[in-house]
Structure 1
Amino acid sequence: MSKRSLDNNKDDSKIPAKEPKKHWSLGLVESMEDPKLIYKETKNLVVIRDKYPKAKIHFLVLPRDDISSISKLNKSHLNLLDEFGLLLKTIKEEHDCELRAGFHAVPSMHRLHMHVISTDMNSPCLKTKVHWNSFTTGFFILYEDIFKKLTEDGFIQKISNETHKSLMSTPLKCNQCSYEPKNMPQLKQHLLTHIK
C-alpha cells in the first residue's frame, strides 16, 4: 500500500479542528478577560489598559453587557452610563494628570467602550493623522456630551460618512496650544515641549 493511500485512511476525527480566527474588531471582548489588561472591574463594567495606547495613560471602560456602540444606547442605559462616570471619577483621582473621557463617533472595535486618555498623547502607538484626529476632533465625543444627549434625546445619532471623512482629514493641530504642524513627526516632536 502506498503512503498516499495510508494517509487517505487516517482517522480525521482525531485531528482537532482549527477554531475559525476571530475578526480583529472583536478583540475587546477577549481583552476584558485578560488579567494582564484588567485595571478595574465592577459588577457591570470592566476597565482595561489599551493594548495600543495613544498616550501615557489610556484605558477603555466597557460594559459586561453586549452593547455594540453608542448608537445602540437609549434611556434605559442611563444608569449604566452613570456608572461609567463614577468609574471615571475614581480613575481621575488615581492619576495626577489631565484625563479626557469619550467615545469615538464611529468605533472600529465591537463593544461599546469609553476611552480615558491623558492629554500628553505621547506614545509610539500614535502614528497617523487618523489616530490623532480620532482623539482631537469632534469625532471624539466627550462622556458628558453623550450623557447629556442620551438624557435629553434618548438616543445618539450616527454621524454621516461625509462628516466622518471630514473629521479624519482635519489639518493637524496641537491639542494643547495653537501650533499647526505639517506632518505627524513634527507634531510628535512638538508634543514633547508640553511634557513637564
Structure 2
Amino acid sequence: MTSCGKDWAVGLIAAIKDSKNHVISSDIAVVIPDKYPKAKHHYLVLPKGDIPDIFHLKLSNLPMLQELYLLAQNVIEVKRCHMDDFQIGFHAQPSMQRLHLHVISKDFVSDCLKTKKHWASFNTELFLPYQDAYARLEMEGCIKPLAKERVQELGGSELICNQCEFVAKNMPDLKRHLYDHWMEKQ
C-alpha cells in the first residue's frame, strides 16, 4: 500500500497519542497537520474519544463537536490566517478510521492533491460543512451516509474551480489554474 493508503487511515490514532504531532490540544481533542495536505494549510481536529466516523455521532456529542469547531477556529488564528480563506467540515464519505474535522485552506495548492476523487471530496456534497453536520445531528439525531449512487455521481463531477467558473479538462489543468489564483493573492 502506498504512503497515502490505509496505514494512515489507522495511523490517526497513533498520531493523536504523540504530542509532537499536536498543533493545539485540549482535554477533549487535538489538532494535527494532515500528513498528506491537499492545500497550503490542512489540519485535522480529532476527538480523544474513540468515535469511528460521523455516522456514529449522537445528540450527546454536540458539545464535543462545538469543541472541535473552536479548535478549528483556533488553529486558523494561530497560523495567522483568515476564516474566510478556509472551509471546515467532514467528509460525507469518510475514508479514515477516526472521526476528524478538516480545516483546509481554499487554495488547494498542494502536491498531494492528485486525483479527481481528492478534489470532489472537498468541493462537492462529499464535503459536509461543520455547520450542516451540526444542524443535521441536532435536528435528526444522526448523520446518515449518502446513497452509493450519489457518491459515484459526485465522484465523477466536473472539475469546477472553487473560486471562479473555470471548468478544467483534467487535474493538471485544474492545478495550474488554482496555482494562478494563489499567485494572484501573494
Give the corresponding residue for 1:178: 165
TM-score by length of 2: 0.90
Give the corresponding residue for 1:143: 130
| 1:126-180 C-alpha deviation (Å, 9 max, x unpaired) | 0010011100001000001001111111110111111111111111110110000
Distance 1:40 1:114 in 2: 14
Query: Structure 1: 5+ residue runs without aligned partners?
Result: 1-22
Tell me the SS of whatever aligns to 2:23: strand
**TM superposition shift of 1:31:** 1.2
Distance 1:44 1:96 in 2: 24
Say what the alpha-carbon RMSD is for the aligned residues.
1.1
What is the number of residues matched between the two proteins? 174
The alignment status of 1:79 with 2:63, answered yes or no, reads: yes
| 1:65-119 C-alpha deviation (Å, 9 max, x unpaired) | 1000000001000110111121122123233241110000111110100100000
Tell me the SS of whatever aligns to 1:185: helix
**TM superposition shift of 1:122:** 0.3
Distance 2:21 2:153 in 1: 33
Distance 1:34 1:120 in 2: 29
Pairwise mapping of residues 12-51 of structure 1 onto structure 2 (< 5 A)? Answer: 24=7, 25-51=9-35
Distance 1:174 1:37 in 2: 32
* Greater than 6 Å deviation, 4+ residue runs: none
Give the corresponding residue for 2:117: 130
Give the corresponding residue for 1:168: 155
Letter in 2 for 1:111: R
Distance 2:167 2:144 in 1: 31
Tell me the SS of whatever aligns to 1:167: helix
Query: Structure 2: 5+ residue runs without aligned partners?
Result: 1-5
TM-score by length of 1: 0.85
Q: Do 2:23 and 2:75's aligned partners in 1 also have CA atoms closer than 8 Å?
A: no
Letter in 2 for 1:130: K
What percent of counterpart residues are identical? Answer: 45
**TM superposition shift of 1:35:** 3.6
Q: Do 2:31 and 2:75's aligned partners in 1 also have CA atoms closer than 8 Å?
A: no
Distance 2:65 2:163 in 1: 28
The alignment status of 1:157 with 2:182, answered yes or no, reads: no
Letter in 1 for 2:171: M
